[in-house]
């Protein structure tokens, strides 16, 4: 029996690290191709799909500003440009599978991508195009988590799917603490009180105020995006 999707419009949040695959740095072509296949599976269900892509596989502003003594604003803008590279790579992978895709950036660069305009983004989604949001919010000091929450509100997404390398939210880092326990469900207020690493506090507060749930799941297992969309119990649901 084919399960029907429980969401009509989703925002998929991908970290930059998700695109580096097994590499220690940069963009892994095989990982991009694998992600594109998973996104195509969801697209074929008639789901309207938007993505926000991070840039940590290339340049992480907050970390690098401390490491190299860069001005934080300059470092953050460099990080925003890294997200554009990732977005273009993902667009290419999707278009090779004949999925119509548009990259929209918060930092204008007309020769590379469309400027982000909410009405235009909504039109692309209505036309069945996958929209990739890059350039963060266009402002320093804001993470791509916050950008994901902001864009989710603007496009009226039903859910944010937060793709990670672990299968949900734990009481502690499961890579370090062996007996860390996974939460099946969490409330936004508990995420804030316990300072759990789901998304940053600004993003969590925005989702809580606007009643947009977050599903945190393991991206490394093929088919998990589709499972999340049809409501299978994977990862952690935050609402």
Domains of the chain: 9-238 (3.40.1160.10)
Q: Where are the alpha helices (DSSP H) in the chain?
A: 16-20, 29-43, 61-68, 72-96, 118-126, 144-154, 188-194, 201-210, 224-229
- Among 141, 93, 143, 150, smallest CA distance to 116 is for 150
d(CA 79, CA 140): 9
Asked whether residue 60 carries a pLDDT value surpassing 80, the answer given is no
pLDDT of residue 177: 85
- Among 161, 129, 148, smallest CA distance to 232 is for 161
pTM: 0.93
What rounded mean pLDDT belongs to the chain? 92
Asked whether residue 2 carries a pLDDT value surpassing 80, the answer given is no
d(CA 101, CA 92): 9
- Among 21, 51, 50, smallest CA distance to 34 is for 21
pLDDT of residue 229: 94
pLDDT of residue 123: 98
Contact between residue 145 and residue 83 where contact means Cβ atoms under 8 Å apart: no
Q: Which tens digits make up the pLDDT trace of 95-125? A: 999 999 999 999 999 999 999 999 999 999 9
Q: Which tens digits make up the pLDDT trace of 157-173? A: 999 999 988 888 998 88
Asked whether residue 144 carries a pLDDT value surpassing 70, the answer given is yes
d(CA 236, CA 155): 23
Average pLDDT over residues 29-34: 92
């Amino acid at each position: 029996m084919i399960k029907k999707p429980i969401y009509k419009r989703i925002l998929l949040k991908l970290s930059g690290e998700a695109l580096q695959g097994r590499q220690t740095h940069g963009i892994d072509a095989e990982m991009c191709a694998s992600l594109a296949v998973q996104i195509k599976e969801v697209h074929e269900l008639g789901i309207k799909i938007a993505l926000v892509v991070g840039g940590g596989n290339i340049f992480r502003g907050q970390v690098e500003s401390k490491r190299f003594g860069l001005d934080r604003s300059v470092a953050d803008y460099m990080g925003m440009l890294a997200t554009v590279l990732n977005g273009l790579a993902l667009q290419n992978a999707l278009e090779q599978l004949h999925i119509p895709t548009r990259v929209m950036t918060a930092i204008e660069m007309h020769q590379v991508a469309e400027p982000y305009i909410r009405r235009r983004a909504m039109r692309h989604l209505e036309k069945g195009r996958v929209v990739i949001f890059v350039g963060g919010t266009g402002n320093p000091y804001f993470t791509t988590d916050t950008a994901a929450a902001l864009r989710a509100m603007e496009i009226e997404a039903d859910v944010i799917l937060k793709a990670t390398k672990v299968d949900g939210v734990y009481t502690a880092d499961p890579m370090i603490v062996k007996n860390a326990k996974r939460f099946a469900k969490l409330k936004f207020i508990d995420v804030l009180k316990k300072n759990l690493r789901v998304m940053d506090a600004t993003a969590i507060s925005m989702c809580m105020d606007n009643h947009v749930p977050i599903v945190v799941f393991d991206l490394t297992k093929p088919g998990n995006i589709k499972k999340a969309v049809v409501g299978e119990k994977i990862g952690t649901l935050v609402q």
